[in-house]
Structure formats: C-alpha cells, structure tokens
Amino acid sequence: MKRKRRARKKRKKTKKRKKLGEKEYIKTGIKGLDVLLEKGIPKGSSVLIAGGAGSGKTLLCLQILANAAREGKKCLYMSFEESEEKLKQHMRDFKWNPEELEKKKKLVIKRFSIFDVARAIDALMAKEKGELLIDFEPIILPEGFKPDLIVVDSLTAIASAFIGKKESYRAYIEQLFRFFEKLRATSFLITETEQEPRIFSPTGVEEFLADGVIVLYHIRRGNIREHGIEVLKMRGSKHKKKIVPMKIISGKGIEVYPEQEIFAGLEGKPI
C-alpha cells in the first residue's frame, strides 16, 4: 500500500513539473485571430504589427490591450505619434472604457518623445566612440508599473528620428528588444509599410529580431478596399499560414474570419 501511495505521489509531481515547464500563451481576445494563432501568442514574445495606412494597426493593438487589461494583466501603450487623449478616444469609440482600466491600474497610455531618446543615444555613441558597449534602458517605465503587455507605436516614428544614423537606430532597436526580453513582457511593435508589403519594418532587421510578424492588409477589390490579416511568423506557435478577411465593426472592434478567403483585384484571384 505504501509503495502504491509513493508511486501516485511521484506521478503527481511529474505532472506538476510538466505543467511548470509548459509554455504560456497570451490570448488576444479578438474573435477569429486566436483561431489563426491556434494556442495564442507565446508569453514574452515580441511581435511586429505591420501594415499600410488605414489597415487597423493601432486599433488591433488597443483592442488586444483592452482585452488583456480586463483579464487583469498590466498593459502599457507607448505612443511616439498620437496623443494620449486621441488614443483614449479611439477606445471610447469602441466602448472599451480606458478610464475604468486606468482606475484599476491595469492600463497606462503614455506619449514619449523619440527626439529625447535619439539625443541620448547620440550622446552614448559619441562617448563610446561610435560603438554602444554598455546596456541602457531604451524606455523609462512609469514608476511602480511593471507591464505584462507593451505596445510601441511606432518603429516607423522611431526610425524617423535616426535619419542618416543607421548605427544609432540599430543600437537602439537591439536594446529595445533586449529590454522587453529581460522584462518578460509580451510586446507589440507597430510598423508602417506599403499596402501589399515585401519588407515589414523600417530596415528589414526588426522582423528578424522579432519572434512574430502579424501583417494587416487594406487591399483594393474593384471600387472598394477590403481588410485582411496574416500571421506571417510566430515562433513557438503552429499558426495558420494564410491571409484571411478582417472587418472593423462599429462600436465593437476588429473581427477576423479564419475560414474565409480574401480576394484582390477584379479577377477574383486569391492572394
């Protein structure tokens, strides 16, 4: 009897160890997108959100954060372009109530000055004679707030502050990805592309540093444009590899249709 009890205890311990070793996944809470991602986004991943103007990048990220914040996760939206009030108004338009999430200390929307960052990097590069040999914090987090999810809006804006300074920009981006990795936060980095892109980031380097790439399309179909979405890459996830339709529903947000096809042009050929 004692041997049987010991055997049962051992089996329970091994089960616990397996659970501890299992990967954790972050659900976006967006209808259809989690189906494309299968289990979700591996916790701690850095994900590029790429797409042209009007493709829904900012909205997608705000929706993911709103859903995560309601589930009790701490979320930070870092804006290098739009004002805090404008981003909050986007959320109000879809009834996501940013004030309530802020009151519960689950959401922080903060505007950063990229030119202050660029000047600091230039000073460090000059001090180190053109080589960044020391680690530094690429962003200053709000005091006492350690986020589980972070949005950076956008890499395109950051790159614009480093025009003619490729080495400085690359040093900053490498430190930014390293910082998120150390923080163990799941990060979403927005980047502006062409409507049907071949390169998904300002220099092409970012998509290799990132664990995942989600591409949003705004494709012309006859006289109208149709929204589409694709999980191009996601390390640690057996995601579906196809472009599917996406809609922005007034007062609700984004919905994805993983079982449908998306077509471009008058010929009706799937892209």
**Are 64 and 57 contacting, i.e. CB atoms less than 8 angstroms apart?**
no
Terminal alpha carbon distance of the chain: 64
Q: Is the predicted pLDDT of residue 72 greater than 60, yes or no?
A: yes
pTM of the model: 0.86
Q: Is the predicted pLDDT of residue 83 greater than 70, yes or no?
A: yes
Residue 221 lies in a domain: yes
Give me the pLDDT at residue 15, please: 47
Residue 69 lies in a domain: yes
Q: What is the DSSP letter of 22?
A: S
Q: Per residue in 95-152, pLDDT tens?
A: 999 999 999 999 999 999 888 777 777 776 665 555 554 556 788 899 999 999 999 9
Give me the pLDDT at residue 268, please: 40
Residue 188 lies in a domain: yes
Helices (H), the chain: 2-21, 33-36, 57-70, 84-93, 98-103, 114-127, 155-160, 166-183, 206-209
Residue 68 lies in a domain: yes
The domain of 170 spans 24-270
Is residue 170 packed enough to be buried (19+ CB in 10 Å), middle (13-18) or exposed (0-12)? middle
Q: Per residue in 167-214, pLDDT tens?
A: 888 888 988 999 999 999 999 999 999 877 777 788 888 999 999 999
Tell me, what CATH number does 35's domain have?
A: 3.40.50.300
Residue 233 lies in a domain: yes
Residue 101 lies in a domain: yes
Dihedrals φ, ψ of 51, to 5°?
170, 165
Residue 163 lies in a domain: yes
Residue 19 lies in a domain: no
Count: domains in the chain: 1
